[in-house]
Amino acid sequence: GAVLPGVQASVLLLLIAFAIDLFKREDAAGTWQASHFSWRIRSVLWAGGLYLLTAPLWLLILPGWIAWVLISLWFLYRIVRGWLALSNNQPTPG
């Protein structure tokens, strides 16, 4: 199969960050930072689930590409929104 340069390392780093979030989330309990842990964990779970759900669309190539671009844009939005809240010392929204 085809290998996209950098993708494997990116996925590995994302999984490591996800594991750290799961492990360290209790340290932030009761603080405004706790919302960031939940935000990141939910973002990764939703994105991962959506990528898996839409993976069969890659058999048709274009629909798979479109689905994954849309999921990636949503995931990027979640990252940027979370970073903006964090940089302003604010919790993430609901």
Q: What residue numbers bound the domain in which 31 lies? A: 7-87
Residue position matching structure tokens 């069969």: 56
Residue 51 lies in a domain: yes
CB 79 within 8 A of CB 43: yes
CA-nearest of 69, 21, 29 to 45 is 21
pLDDT in tens, the chain (94 residues): 444 445 555 678 788 889 999 999 999 999 999 999 999 999 999 998 998 999 999 889 899 889 988 998 999 999 999 999 999 999 998 7
Tell me, yes or no, whether 92 lies in a domain. Answer: no
Measuring CA to CA, which residue among 73, 36, 35, 68 is closest to residue 53? Answer: 68
Alpha-carbon gap, residue 3 to 92, rounded angstroms: 35
**Total number of domains constituting the chain:** 1
Q: What is the DSSP letter of 56?
A: G
